[in-house]
Amino acid sequence: DGGITQSPKYLFRKEGQNVTLSCEQNLNHDAMYWYRQDPGQGLRLIYYSQIVNDFQKGDIAEGYSVSREKKESFPLTVTSAQKNPTAFYLCASSFGTGNYGYTFGSGTRLTVV
C-alpha cells in the first residue's frame, strides 16, 4: 500500500542535541512538507520541497534544517538552535502545491528532556 511513513513515533532528546526525524513516501508525490503542531493549536509550516534538491522555508524555519536528496525522502533536523523543540511534527506530501489533497504521516512526538 502506498503511504507516508514517519519514524520514530516518539523521540526524546537532551537539550543541546540535534535530532533528525525521518519521512518517507512511496506515493510518487513531488512535493513534501514539514509541519509543527503544539498542543491545542493548528499546524505551522516549517519547510517544504516541491522537487528533489530544492526546498523552501516556511513560516517557522528557524532552528530547523532539511534535505531532499531523493524524491521519496524529506528528513527534518531539529537543531540545538531551536528554542522550544518539544512538539508534534507532521510530514505530508502531495502531487503538487496546487489544488491537490495532502497525505499526512502519523507524526513524531519530540520531547526535550
2 binds another protein (CB under 8 A): no
The closest of 71, 58, 69 to 25, measured between CA atoms, is: 71
Q: Report the residue from 22, 27, 44, 63 that binds another protein according to the rule CB under 8 A.
A: 44
Q: Report the residue from 78, 92, 110, 112 that binds another protein according to the rule CB under 8 A.
A: 92
Distance of CA 101 to CAs 8, 38, 45, 60, 74, Å? 24, 23, 16, 22, 18
Q: Report the residue from 11, 27, 52, 58 that binds another protein according to the rule CB under 8 A.
A: 58
28 binds another protein (CB under 8 A): no
CA distance 1 to 26: 9
Residues lying near another protein in the complex (CB under 8 A) are found at: 33, 35, 40-45, 48, 58, 88, 90-92, 96-99, 101-107, 109
